[in-house]
Amino acid sequence: MNTRFKAVIFDLDGVITDTARYHYLAWKRLADSVDAPFDEAFNEQLKGVDRMGSLDLILARAPRAWTPEEKLALADAKNRHYQELIATMTPDDLLPGALRALEEVRNAGLKIGLASVSKNAFTVLDRLGIRNRFDDVVDAATIRNSKPHPEIFLTAAAHLGVAPQDCLGVEDAAAGVASIKDAGMVAVGVGDPAVLYRADRVIPSMLHFRLADY
């Protein structure tokens, strides 16, 4: 396989597995409980954004202000609901094409990284049975800045020992594509080209991922 890249760094939620749907359901219930408007279009702004950052975006549209203690309780409630939803996941919950993509990258001799700001990423990887397929998983707890800041993709590249310009990043979120591009990498968007307009190429699903296209 001829490719100019030395590593591929994948996002998790919405790229490898459909946990983006579970985040949506958990945030929707939380938003309803505080009378904040919430729909799929607004949810796009939350994808790739960390838990407290997402909560702040939701509460900015709620009818009243919330104390820091109340915010922590709301974030915990959302996370408990999310953890209930992911508790039943199995390897069957890998998105179509995701495993084949990981295998293609591995067989081409490239390094594989994971860049997720989720504090539940290791749980999800274990439920899917794919943790050992990654050379490096950036621990969300060590990251100061959530996507769209480039820190998480730059950290993954540094851990893999690969220069950013030799990395391909794969993302389903506008914030994630911004993080990849501002890290100086080539970006693959998975989803809607109108949302992921900063990506170098957008594919409708991981079934369409081919290393040779980049």
Interface residues with ligand G6P (CB under 6 A) are 13, 20, 23, 46-51, 54, 79, 116-120, 173
Beta carbon of residue 27, minimum distance to ligand G6P (angstroms, whole number):
8
Written as one letter, the residue type at 48 is G
CB burial of 57-91 (b: ≥16 within 10 Å; e: otherwise) equals bbbeeeeeeeeeeeeeebbeebeebbeeebeebee
Point out which residues pair with 201 in neighbouring strands. 188
Contact in structure between 203 and 186 (CB atoms under 8 Å): no
In 3D, which of 109, 120, 157 has the Cα closest to residue 136? 157
List the single partner that 23 binds among ligand G6P, Mg ion, none, CB under 5 to 8 Å by kind.
ligand G6P
Separation CA 33–CA 146 (nearest Å)? 25
**Rounded CA Rg of the chain:** 17
**Piece in contact with Mg ion (CB under 5 A), picked from 51-59, 82-90, 138-146, 164-172:** 164-172
| Backbone torsion region of residue 35, taken as left when φ is above 0, otherwise alpha when ψ lies between -120 and 50, otherwise beta | left
Comparison of 30 and 115: residue with beta carbon closer to Mg ion: 115
- Nearest approach in angstroms of CB 35 to ligand G6P is 21
Smallest distance from ligand G6P to CB 26, Å: 8
Least separation in angstroms between CB 173 and ligand G6P: 6
What is the DSSP code (8-state) at residue 46?
A: T
Tell which positions 170-189 bind Mg ion, by CB under 5 A: 172-173
Task: Give the x-and-dash track for 5-34 against Mg ion (CB under 5 A).
Answer: ------x-xx--------------------
CB 58 within 8 A of CB 38: yes
Q: Is 11 a catalytic residue?
A: yes
Tokens of 107: 């067989």
Nearer to ligand G6P, 61 or 119 (CB): 119
What is the smallest separation between the CB atom of 35 and Mg ion, expressed in angstroms? 27
Cβ distance to ligand G6P smaller for residue 23 or 28: 23
> Binding residues for Mg ion, how many (CB under 5 A)?
5
What amino acid occupies position 181? Answer: K
| 126 flagged as catalytic | no
Residue with smaller CB distance to Mg ion, 66 or 122: 122
Catalytic (active-site) positions: 11, 13
